[in-house]
Amino acid sequence: MYEAHPVFAQPDDETVKVWKYMDFTKLVSLIDSRRLHFTRVDKFDDPFEGSWPRINVHARHDIPDDLPLENSEAFARAMKRLGEINRQWPKHVAINCWHMNEHESAAMWKLYLKSNEGIAVQSRYNKLRDSIIDDETVNLGKVKYLDYDAESIDAGNLLFSLRSQTKKL
Question: pLDDT tens digits for 70-105?
Answer: 999 999 999 999 999 999 999 999 999 999 999 999
User: Residue 168's pLDDT is what?
Assistant: 38
Position 161 pLDDT exceeds 60: yes
Neighbours of 90 (CB within 10 A): 21
pLDDT band at 167 (very low <50, low <70, confident <90, very high): very low
**Is residue 133 a contact partner of residue 42, using CB atoms and an 8 Å limit?**
no
pLDDT above 90 (res 165): no
CA-CA distance, 151 to 166, in Å (whole number)?
A: 10
Q: What are phi and psi of 77, to 5 degrees?
A: -65, -40
Beta strand pairing status for 17-22 and 119-124? antiparallel
pTM of the model: 0.82
User: Which range in 13-22, 40-49, 86-95, 103-112 is most confidently predicted, on average pLDDT?
Assistant: 13-22
| The predicted structure's pLDDT at residue 163 | 75
